[in-house]
């Protein structure tokens, strides 16, 4: 059912991958509504489809069936150019592996979304770096920054255009426990400060309890994990936490 008050509205999402000659369906008719300003954590076992769902919600992977509305706009009804412009203005995305451009400085990386949108964002980029505590590292290349600092640059880049929606795929997955806490504190704080809707994929059960809502994806379906501390889904989520986890095999 449609929820007119939701900033993110997904309906009947189906997505599959071909591996060898087999077609494996990863998303099985997912319906999801997320309210403006809500902080949602998406948890589940490796290969369950967490990253696939995040990519589909963000307009990075087209579903074979179903629709995604962001801020009332049907994302997959837009042509490629309009969709790219919409993502640039309305959606921020943080990747586990940072995906900073290695030949650009921290400041230049943060400037990229403004350049794509045709906006002179120099002042905004400097302000974004200052918000993540890296004003003094603006001229450093990614190779000269620690993992935690690179993820802070990635957060600044995702937020520089002030998008109403921010997606983060395992934003602390490559960080140690101290940096994980600092980065998540920063991310949650900045989202609350700007009333940004935040959707985070994580294997870490402790992080998954810090949002307004925790969702568990299993067998291509989503369940509300906010009150599932003793269910099989929550136990699966907990077993995926920690440094010994396996990488996502399918998504």
Give the whole-number percent of the chain exceeding pLDDT 90: 68
Distances in whole angstroms, Cα of residue 130 to Cα of each of 133, 148, 227: 5, 15, 38
Residue 218 pLDDT greater than 80, yes or no: yes
The predicted structure's pLDDT at residue 48: 87
Cα separation, 180 vs 148, whole angstroms? 8
- Give strand pairing partners of 14: 28, 65
pTM for the structure as a whole: 0.86
Cα separation, 242 vs 70, whole angstroms? 32
| 193-202 tens-digit pLDDT | 989 999 999 9
Residue 247 contacts residue 46 (beta carbons within 8 Å): yes
Task: Supply the mean pLDDT for the chain.
Answer: 87
Domain positions in the chain are 6-239
The predicted structure's pLDDT at residue 2: 57
The predicted structure's pLDDT at residue 163: 94
Residue 251 pLDDT greater than 60, yes or no: no
- Does CATH number 3.40.50.300 belong to domain 6-239? yes
Stretch 152-180: mean pLDDT: 93
225 pLDDT band, cuts 50/70/90, is: low
Which of 229, 226, 219 lies closest to 50 in space, CA to CA? Answer: 219
């Amino acid at each position: 059912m449609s929820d007119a008050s939701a900033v993110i509205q997904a309906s009947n999402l189906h997505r599959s991958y071909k591996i060898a000659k087999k077609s494996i369906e990863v998303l099985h008719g997912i319906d999801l509504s997320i309210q403006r300003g809500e902080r949602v954590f998406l948890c589940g076992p490796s290969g369950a489809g967490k990253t696939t769902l995040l990519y589909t919600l963000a307009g990075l992977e087209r579903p074979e069936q179903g629709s995604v509305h962001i801020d009332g706009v049907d994302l997959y009804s837009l042509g490629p150019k309009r969709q790219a412009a919409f993502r640039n203005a309305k959606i921020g995305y943080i990747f586990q592996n940072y995906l900073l451009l290695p030949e650009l400085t921290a400041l230049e990386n943060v400037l990229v979304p403004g350049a794509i949108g045709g906006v002179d964002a120099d002042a905004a980029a400097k302000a974004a770096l200052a918000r993540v505590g890296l004003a003094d590292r603006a001229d450093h290349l990614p190779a000269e920054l620690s993992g935690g600092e690179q993820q802070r640059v990635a957060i600044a880049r995702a937020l520089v255009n002030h998008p109403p929606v921010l997606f983060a795929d395992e934003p602390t997955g490559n960080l140690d426990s101290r940096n994980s806490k600092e980065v998540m504190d920063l991310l949650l704080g900045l989202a609350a400060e700007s009333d940004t809707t935040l959707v985070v994929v994580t294997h870490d059960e402790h992080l998954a309890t810090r949002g307004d809502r925790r969702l568990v994806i299993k067998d291509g379906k989503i369940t509300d994990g906010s009150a599932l501390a003793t269910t099989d889904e929550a136990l699966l989520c907990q077993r995926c936490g920690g440094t010994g986890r396996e990488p996502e095999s399918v998504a």
